[in-house]
Amino acid sequence: MTLTTELLAKDIMTPGARCIGENDSLETAARLMADLDIGSLPICGEDGKLKGMLTDRDIVVKAIANGHAADTTTAGALAEGRPFMVDTEDDARHVLELMQEHQVRRIPVIDDHVLVGIVAEADIARRLDAQDTGETVERISR
C-alpha cells in the first residue's frame, strides 16, 4: 500500500451513519435505504452495539426470495456472524486490510462502542490515491 500520510479511519469515513434497529422490519430498513439513497445499513441492537450489516441484496436474496415477509421479518434475523468494524483512531491501512481480507465494501466506524460513520469504497476513492483504491477494489471483488 502506498498511503503517503498516516490517515485514520475518522479521516476517510463518511460521518453520521444511520442504523436500523435489530427489531425493525425489513420493510422499514428498505424504506430507510430508499430515503437515504444507500444500499446498506448497520444493524444496531437494543444495547446500542453493532450486530451486523444489512444490504439491499440481503433483503431480496436472503429474505424475499425465500418467502420471508418484509413487514414481519426483522433486520436482526439477517445479522450473521461477527460484524467487522473499526475504531475512529485505527489507521487507514488497517481499514483497507480488513476490507480486503473479508471482502466487504463497507466498514462501520465506532467511537466508544457507538456508530459514528462508515468507510465505503467511494470514501477510499475520494480520499486515497489511485493505487490504494485500485488494490482495495480488486481484492474486495475476488
Is 113 inside any structural domain?
Answer: yes
- Confidence label for 1 from pLDDT (cuts 50, 70 and 90): very low
What is residue 61's predicted lDDT score, i.e. its pLDDT? 95
Is 104 inside any structural domain?
Answer: yes
- Confidence label for 127 from pLDDT (cuts 50, 70 and 90): confident
What is residue 5's predicted lDDT score, i.e. its pLDDT? 58
C-alpha cell at 104: 466487504
Domain with 111 in it: 9-140
CATH classification at residue 103: 3.10.580.10
Is the per-residue pLDDT at 124 higher than 50?
A: yes
**Mean pLDDT taken over the chain:** 89
Q: What is the rounded CA–CA span in Å between residue 119 and residue 129?
A: 15
Quick: pLDDT tens for 43-84: 999 887 888 999 999 999 999 999 999 999 999 999 877 888
Is 3 inside any structural domain?
Answer: no
Is 13 inside any structural domain?
Answer: yes
Quick: pLDDT tens for 4-25: 458 999 999 999 889 999 999 9
Is 2 inside any structural domain?
Answer: no
DSSP 3-state assignment of 13? coil
Is the per-residue pLDDT at 3 higher than 80?
A: no
Is 40 inside any structural domain?
Answer: yes
Q: How many domains does the chain have?
A: 1
| C-alpha 4, offset from chain centre | 25
C-alpha cell at 17: 451513519
Average pLDDT over residues 130-139: 80
